[in-house]
Every structure is written in C-alpha cells, then in structure tokens.
Structure 1
Amino acid sequence: MDDDATRFQGSIPEFYDSGLGPVLFRHYADVLGAAVSSTAPRRILEVAAGTGISSAGIVAHNGGAELVLTDLNEAMLLRAAAKVPEGTRMQVADAQALPFEDGGFDAVVCQFGIMFVPDVGAAFREARRVLAPGGVFVFSVWDSHDRNRFAAIVDGLLAETFPDDPPPFYRVPFGMSDIERLRRLAQDSGFGRLRIDVLPHDAPVASWRAFADGLIRGNPVSDQVRARSGDLDALVRTVAERLSAEYGPAPTTIPVQTILFRTWAV
C-alpha cells in the first residue's frame, strides 16, 4: 500500500489552498516573511513552497529581493505562480539534492516542509551548501498533537475508522516538534547561531465543512483513505461534526502552535 506523505497531486493542491490555507498557513506566512526580512536578503530560495501561500508572505515583506521557488510537486507550484510576481523562477526540486550552486543565496526558507523530508540531515546540509557565508536558514515546523488538538482529532478518527491499518499521514507533519533534535541537526550541518520562537495562534475558521475538506482532501491522507476503500465524504462530514463539537459553531477560532527556527551559516 502506497502511503507516500509527500505526494500533493491531483485535486489535493486545490483543497490544500482553499480549505487549509486560510486557517493554518496565511498567518504564519506573514510571520515567516517578516522573519526573513529582518536579515535583509537579496536572493532567497524557498524550499517546499507548496501552493505559494508562504511565498506570498515572503514577497510581501521582501519586495526588493529575488525569490526562487522549489517544491517536489509540480502541481503545487502551478498554483503558486498566481501568488508571486510574474517571472518568478519556479523549479521542481528535492530539498535533499538542490540543483543550485554553492553559496548562491542569502536566505533559504521552508515553511512546514522539513517534516516531509526522509533525510532531514541531508536537507539541512543542502541548505547550508547553497547559502553564502553568514546567510540564514529560516524554517518552521508544527508543534505536537498536544498543541494542535484539531490534528489529534482527525488522526484519532482515522485510527477509529481503519483500526487494522490507520492512514499514517497525520503523524508526519506533527511529528517533528523535538527542538533539541533540530538544534543538533542544524549545528551538525554547519550552522552556528540559532534563534527559536514558539508561536501559538488562534486560527480563524469560517466554515467547518471547508476546513474539514482541507484536512481530508487537501493532503495525501485522501489517497491513503482511497487505498483502504474508505469513504472520503463520510470522513469529511464526521471531521466537521467533531471539530464543531470540540470548538463550537463556526465562525470561530482554534488554538494552534508552531515553532520557527532561524539559524545562520558559519
């Protein structure tokens, strides 16, 4: 059974953009863009750019910089094109083997993508390789299920629905909250000074149905459910019902938490 958590293809980018973007990504994209701008980079590489929500935040705060976008999935980059200036370079690329020369960027940026990389150490080493001396690597990860209960609710429903073989997706994006592990990886990869910010946020939810569509159809869990002959419509309905029971009727907010890292090349 194919449980590839990195395959954001087909209709996934659309639901990711419309269902998850307004709730989970737009606020943190603005935070990310501001964090990058504080280092005044001239040339920025974004890794795992997705549908360009984070890219738009980078552009908004770094108007004078050149931005290069990469992602493993071309379908995600096709949606990103509408969110960045015309002519912005976009390229399908693996974070573990970047197709760029040494020292070519002042900043490497990755919002919520590191968790999907099979060899995180290789991705860190590649980020260091393409950075100029003194350049900054800015990346963010989701905190654990304990700090993002909405994800625990979805993961619990999947385990309940498929008790013999639960889809594993929701263990991936929320499975890299160990700050010390990431600190060691950064230092072992040639980075020096490190700043870490834990960022709670009350995320706005306008519609439980739209958010539930994003949570089930807007990531590879949809393919994992189909591979198990599951009913996506029923899962979306149940996710919306359980989130409404947990947090109250929409519109409302839900508590979420992420961790933002900034580390400088030595």
Structure 2
Amino acid sequence: MKSVFIEAVGIAAPGFASWTEARQVLAGHVQYNDVPLPPHQPALLPPNERRRATPAVRLAFQAAEDAMKMTQRPPADLATVFASSDADLNIIHRISTALTITPRLVSPTDFHNSVHNAAAGYWSIAVGSRAPSSTLSAYDSSFAAGLLEACLLTQIDGHDTLLVAFDLPPPEPMLAKRPIGCPAAVALVLTHERQPNSLAEIRCAATTQSESALTDPALEALRLRNPATRALPLLEHLAAQRSGRIVLPSARDNLAVELSLV
C-alpha cells in the first residue's frame, strides 16, 4: 500500500481532554492521571443541532475539533471516515424500552439520532461539507478498519481525510454483553502528499504479528477499555517522535502500520 501522511491528531478520553495533554503523557513526560472526561459542547455545531446532539456525537466532535486545531485546512474540504463499534447504544436501549411500554411512544429525537452514521451527518451539517464520507463498524477492530478505509480514500481518490473513531459505554443490560469501559475518541487528519506541518508518514499492511501493547500498566488498561483507544500505540510513537512498526488489532490479520517521522 502507498503511504499517506498524518498532519493532525485529536483525542478525548479519561485523562486526555486534548492531544496537548495526551502528548505529554504518552511521551513519558507526565504521569497518566485517570480522571473522567468532562462533557463537551461542540463549538462547530449550530445551536439547534447542538441541543439535539447525543453524547456519542459530542464525543466524536471533541476529538475531531481537537485535530482541526492543528491544521489550517477548512474542515469542509476534508473527506471523512467515522468508525464506531456501537455508535450510541444508549439510544437503542431507550427506543427498545419504549417499545415495551403501552402506549409505544418513541422520542422523535432519539429516532433521528438512532442511525449509525449520525455523527457523520452532524459533522457534514456543522462544517457544510459535501466531501465523501464513510461510516463503519468493526467491533474492537474499528480503529484499524477506519484507518485502513481512510488511507484508501486518501490514496486512491486523492482526498485529504479526517478519521474519527469513537465509542462510549452502553447502559445495562447491554454493558454486560458489550463491556466498553470508558468514553473515548481519536481523530487523525491524513493527507496524500507531504505537507510542511506533516507529523509522520505511514504505510499499512496485513500481518500475523500480535497487536502492539503499551508498557505503562495504566495506559495499557486504557487501551483495552475502548475500541478507539486501540490507537494509543500509534499515538505513543507520534508523541515520542519515534519511528517504528505498530500492530493494530483487526478481525482477521492484524494491521501493521510502518510509521516514519518526517
């Protein structure tokens, strides 16, 4: 596979309200502090859409807006890939519960937000984008699947692309069957050509190697708590300004990412 370039990074997770905070921890300069992620008010959403936006959409926006701070590109010019294992199971739970009660009254707002690509729709409205957009799900491999899709969109079609991976814990009884331990989102801006502010060049390929882990026990625990934070080994290389090979979990063969600083 041809290479693409990482231009910007965004993150929202416990202890990481922004890439600025995460970079210091992942580079080993500051100890990780597992504090809850505060609620986010998306700056790019118009007031009406902001009122209707779900916690999942707000979470995706937090990482996406964080990444956009690192680039001068108009967000409307970027193609998008949104990757989420479960989107918003809280809405599915509320709708399913409503259907068991007489009369069966489903919230119109919940119905509006129940589609898996809701975050992509809100983003397109917020930034006025008509660029290509994909939304996908691959369970715990969702970040790897999203990264592969974003790389292909960038390489083949020549679209600079915003990738956003996000998930949040579902309510019980779903949580027992789908144990996501915390809300988290990660965003990357990928370009098909090297730019003056490019951070790294990456090339992806299938591999049978085991997935990469983190040496810090607290960060490794965070990596395993959410499909989006499976990206942490990649972000650790970026934060430490270290070239290397990162293996991300995937459903069949894992995804090897060769990262070279530029």
Taking structure 1 as the reference length, the TM-score comes to 0.28
Higher relative contact order (CA 8 A, sep 6+): 2
Taking structure 2 as the reference length, the TM-score comes to 0.29
Between Structure 1 and Structure 2, which shows a larger proportion of helix residues? 1
